[in-house]
């Protein structure tokens, strides 16, 4: 799109489009703002696509051109197998959201990058229009929505409230009453799905509106972190964690537009909104409808989704009576990847109290199990119990017994089985869970990683790539997994980039991979810096590499390849262990 082109973006038409000078001035304003939370490569990415667009070369903007001209990738880059550009584009969209939510609310020009494309759009903000930019083509609303700042910033307040980092009263920090005899179900957010409105008034559009409503309800029911309620059901006095999902459907020829918004019932505030534009093809209408509904339900209900983010925003200020158990589930996701043992133990204590107060709360049991597995993976807590795997297994079994079709419970069971070395059983559970809810990117990422670590790198890394692209807020864990995918594909440059994105969170397991990558690249000085990090933060981690690596990589040949990189990085790998992996690899 060249400067001056008009487009249907769901906002009030402007008298004149932004000029080239105005767009460039807005770009500079964004790039210089501390609220534009993006690394240098993404700032260059944004500048490149904007400059190409205003020069009238928008049709030349492709993933390949971005990878080669912005990221410095060589001509072998394949956008079909390497998700780097798609994922960085998602980061830019979220960074733009945050900027317009905080610093750019009054800026005259709105720049955005619609989802599914890399060509930016430019709009002059209508006068007195206070709404910030929304994700991927969302029309502005009259209420200020909750944005998607980076995970650490979003969840810190909730973690402090629940885990006692801040000095709150004991009644909010922990549960009150006789925990051992409490059997009531915990409070979790409710989402009322009202019938989507048909704006076109045709038989086909009416069927489409009804079909989308039904599909969304069906998909939301697969997420156990919320309670979906149909529009015909009535709720007593809605609280701050009751939301209404509303949608409007417009069908013009082959073009379908669905505009959805999530409204907080207590005060009518719009906490999330999005626009989905699809071009329908003959014979593909039902499948297209299913894909759109799946995207809506995932964005609303999965971990790090719209309800999750809105709940965190509310719980940052206070945790009402009866909501402590749900708040504990939020804190689990905050600590993931942290090297600080206190962070993990705080989440563990909170979840244990939740299971004592609500013994039938399957989600709390599942997250408690996953918390134990996290501790086993990184072994960063010297005071951790030696029976963590047994405890993880017991908690996962409890979760599955309580909720056999809860994918979070099945995810916990999969992680425990994989940690035990029961790889085939673990993958069978993961496949069953993904069949139950293929729209849960948290599960898809975890299952994809275990597929890859078992030796099924192509299938596993494809799942990981798709999950990373869909997930709204997950950081750290997925990047570390994609670093493994790049390493075992032989793309060490990409592996270093992914590993460095993951390593700031402090996971020793991710940093081991970074060490191997640096060894492969011959960056001995950088490798020495990483070894110093282990000496200061996880001195025992490199002492038992065979066990650590064998727990993550099933095939001896993969273990041997990682040992090669570590030895090149100057890590002492016992010759017996190195030869053992090599011999097993040769035999297989």
DSSP 535-565: HHH-TTGGGGHHHHHHHH--SHHHHHHHHHH
The answer for residues whose C-beta is within 8 angstroms of residue 90's C-beta and 6 or more apart is 469
Top pLDDT among 134 and 212 is at 212
pLDDT confidence of residue 176 = 45
pLDDT over threshold 70, residue 449 = yes
Per-residue pLDDT band for 190 (boundaries 50, 70, 90) equals: very high
Tokens of 467: 């999950």
Task: Compute how many other C-beta atoms are within 10 angstroms of the C-beta atom of residue 540.
Answer: 11
Q: State which of 67-71, 374-378, 412-416 shows the largest mean pLDDT.
A: 412-416
Compute the distance between CA of residue 34 and CA of residue 103 in angstroms, rounded to an integer.
9
- Do 571 and 542 form a contact (C-beta atoms < 8 A)? yes
pLDDT confidence of residue 280 = 79
Compute the distance between CA of residue 305 and CA of residue 66 in angstroms, rounded to an integer.
28
pLDDT confidence of residue 155 = 39
pLDDT confidence of residue 283 = 66
pLDDT in tens, 483-518: 899 999 999 988 888 888 776 556 777 788 999 999
pLDDT over threshold 90, residue 199 = yes
Q: Which residue has the tokens 């990409």?
A: 494
The answer for residues whose C-beta is within 8 angstroms of residue 280's C-beta and 6 or more apart is 254, 255, 256, 288
Compute the distance between CA of residue 499 and CA of residue 513 in angstroms, rounded to an integer.
7
pLDDT over threshold 50, residue 261 = yes
pLDDT confidence of residue 170 = 32
Give the per-residue SS3 of 411-436.
HHHHHHHHHCCCHHHHHHHHHHHHHH
pLDDT over threshold 90, residue 132 = no
Top pLDDT among 173 and 84 is at 84
Q: Which residue has the tokens 């085939």?
A: 424
Alpha-helical runs (H) found in 437-473: 441-453, 457-470
pLDDT over threshold 90, residue 437 = yes
Region 531-546: mean pLDDT is: 79
Region 146-162: mean pLDDT is: 38
Region 262-273: mean pLDDT is: 86
List b or e across 318-350, with b for residues whose CB sees 16 or more CB atoms inside 10 angstroms.
ebeeebbbbbbbbbbbbbbbbbeeebbbbbbbb
Per-residue pLDDT band for 330 (boundaries 50, 70, 90) equals: confident
Per-residue pLDDT band for 103 (boundaries 50, 70, 90) equals: confident
Top pLDDT among 412 and 167 is at 412
Which has the minimum average pLDDT: 111-125, 173-187, 411-425, 431-445?
A: 173-187
Compute the distance between CA of residue 388 and CA of residue 383 in angstroms, rounded to an integer.
11
Of 584, 572, 567, the C-alpha closest to 455 is: 584
pLDDT confidence of residue 138 = 37
pLDDT over threshold 90, residue 575 = no
Give the percent of the chain with pLDDT over 70: 78
pLDDT over threshold 80, residue 161 = no
Q: Please, what is the average pLDDT of the chain? A: 79
pLDDT confidence of residue 127 = 52
Each as own residue / partner, the long-range contacts of residues 280-286 (CB below 8 Å, 24 or more positions apart, any chain) are 280/254, 280/255, 280/256, 281/254, 285/208, 286/211
Which has the minimum average pLDDT: 110-119, 145-154, 534-543, 577-586?
A: 145-154
Which has the minimum average pLDDT: 12-16, 18-22, 424-428, 512-516?
A: 12-16
pLDDT confidence of residue 239 = 64
pLDDT confidence of residue 153 = 37
pLDDT confidence of residue 326 = 92
Beta partners for residue 138, in sequence order = none
Give the percent of the chain with pLDDT over 90: 33
pLDDT confidence of residue 151 = 41
Which has the minimum average pLDDT: 266-275, 375-384, 514-523?
A: 375-384
Per-residue pLDDT band for 181 (boundaries 50, 70, 90) equals: very low
Which has the minimum average pLDDT: 4-18, 120-134, 266-280, 538-552?
A: 4-18
Q: Is 182 left (phi over 0), alpha (psi -120 to 50) or beta?
A: beta
pLDDT confidence of residue 237 = 54
pLDDT over threshold 90, residue 285 = no
pLDDT confidence of residue 31 = 83
């Amino acid at each position: 799109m060249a400067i001056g082109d008009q487009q249907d973006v769901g906002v009030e038409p402007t008298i004149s489009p932004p000029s080239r000078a105005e767009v460039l001035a807005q770009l500079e304003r964004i790039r210089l703002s501390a609220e534009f939370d993006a690394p240098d490569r993404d700032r260059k990415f944004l500048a490149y696509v904007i400059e190409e667009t205003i020069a009238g070369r928008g049709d030349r903007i492709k993933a390949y051109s971005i990878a080669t001209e912005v990221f410095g990738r060589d001509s072998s880059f394949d956008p079909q197998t390497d998700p780097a550009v798609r994922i960085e584009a998602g980061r830019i969209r979220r960074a733009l959201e945050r900027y317009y939510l905080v610093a750019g609310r009054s800026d005259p020009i709105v720049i955005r990058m619609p989802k599914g494309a890399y060509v930016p759009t430019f709009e002059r903000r209508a006068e007195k229009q206070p709404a910030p930019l929304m994700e991927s083509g969302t029309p502005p609303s009259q209420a200020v929505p909750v944005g998607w700042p980076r995970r650490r910033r979003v969840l810190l307040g909730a973690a402090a409230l629940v885990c006692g980092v801040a000095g709150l009263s004991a009644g909010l920090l922990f549960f009150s009453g006789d925990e051992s005899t409490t059997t009531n179900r915990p409070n979790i957010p409710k989402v009322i799905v009202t019938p989507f409105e048909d704006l076109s008034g045709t038989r086909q559009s009416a069927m489409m509106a009804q079909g989308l409503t039904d599909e969304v309800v069906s998909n939301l029911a697969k997420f156990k972190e919320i309670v979906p309620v149909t529009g015909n059901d009535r709720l007593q006095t809605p609280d701050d964690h009751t939301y209404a999902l509303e949608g409007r459907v417009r069908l013009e020829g082959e073009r379908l537009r669905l505009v959805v918004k999530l409204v907080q019932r207590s005060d009518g505030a719009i906490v999330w909104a999005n626009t989905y534009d699809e071009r329908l093809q003959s014979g593909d209408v039902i499948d297209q409808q299913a894909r759109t509904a799946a995207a809506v339900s995932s964005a609303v209900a999965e971990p790090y989704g719209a309800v999750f983010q809105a709940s965190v925003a509310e719980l940052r200020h206070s945790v009402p009576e009866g909501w402590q158990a749900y708040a504990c589930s939020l804190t689990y996701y905050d600590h993931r990847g942290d090297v600080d043992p206190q962070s993990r133990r705080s989440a563990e204590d909170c979840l244990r109290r939740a299971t004592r107060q609500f013994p039938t709360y399957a989600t709390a049991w599942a997250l408690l199990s996953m918390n134990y597995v996290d501790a086993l993976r990184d072994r960063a807590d010297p005071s951790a119990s030696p029976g963590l795997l047994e405890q993880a297994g017991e908690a996962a079994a409890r979760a599955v017994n309580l909720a056999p079709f809860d994918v979070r419970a099945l995810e916990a069971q999969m992680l425990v089985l994989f940690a035990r070395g029961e790889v085939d059983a673990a993958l069978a559970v993961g496949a069953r869970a993904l069949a139950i809810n293929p729209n849960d990117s948290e599960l898809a990422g975890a299952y994809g990683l275990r597929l890859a670590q078992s030796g099924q790198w192509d299938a596993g890394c494809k799942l990981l790539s798709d999950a990373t692209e869909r997930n709204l807020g997950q950081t750290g864990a997925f990047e570390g997994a994609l670093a493994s995918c790049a390493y075992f594909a032989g793309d060490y440059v990409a592996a270093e980039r992914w590993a460095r994105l993951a390593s700031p969170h402090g996971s020793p397991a991710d940093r081991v991979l970074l060490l191997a990558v640096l060894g492969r690249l011959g960056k001995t000085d950088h490798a020495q810096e990483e070894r110093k990090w282990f000496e200061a933060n996880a001195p025992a981690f490199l002492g038992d590499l065979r066990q650590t690596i064998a727990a993550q990589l099933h095939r001896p040949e993969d273990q041997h390849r990682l040992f090669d990189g570590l030895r090149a990085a100057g890590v002492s790998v016992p010759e017996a262990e190195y030869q053992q992996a090599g011999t097993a690899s040769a035999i297989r």
